Amino acid sequence: MKFCIATILLGLTLIGPAQAQDPIKPTLLVTGDSLSAEYGIARGTGWVALLSNRLKQEGSSWEIMNASISGETTSGGLTRLPKLLAQKKPKLVIIELGANDALRGLPLVETEKNIRTMVELSKKSGADVLLIGMRIPPNYGQEYTQQFAGLFARIAKSQQVALLPFFLEGVAQRNELFQADRIHPNEAAQAIMFQNVWTALTPFYGLLLKK
CA 159 to chain centre: 17
**Dihedral sign, CA of 47, 53, 58, 59?**
positive
Q: Does the annotation count 181 as an active-site position?
A: yes
Residues with Cβ within 8 Å of residue 29, at least 6 apart in sequence: 64, 65, 67, 84, 85, 88, 90, 92, 93, 94, 127
Q: Backbone phi, then psi, for 95, in 5-degree steps? A: -110, 115
Q: Does the annotation count 184 as an active-site position?
A: yes
| Catalytic option among 33, 34, 101, 128 | 34
| Catalytic option among 61, 70, 75, 184 | 184
DSSP category for residue 209: T
DSSP category for residue 92: E
Kindly list the catalytic residues: 34, 181, 184
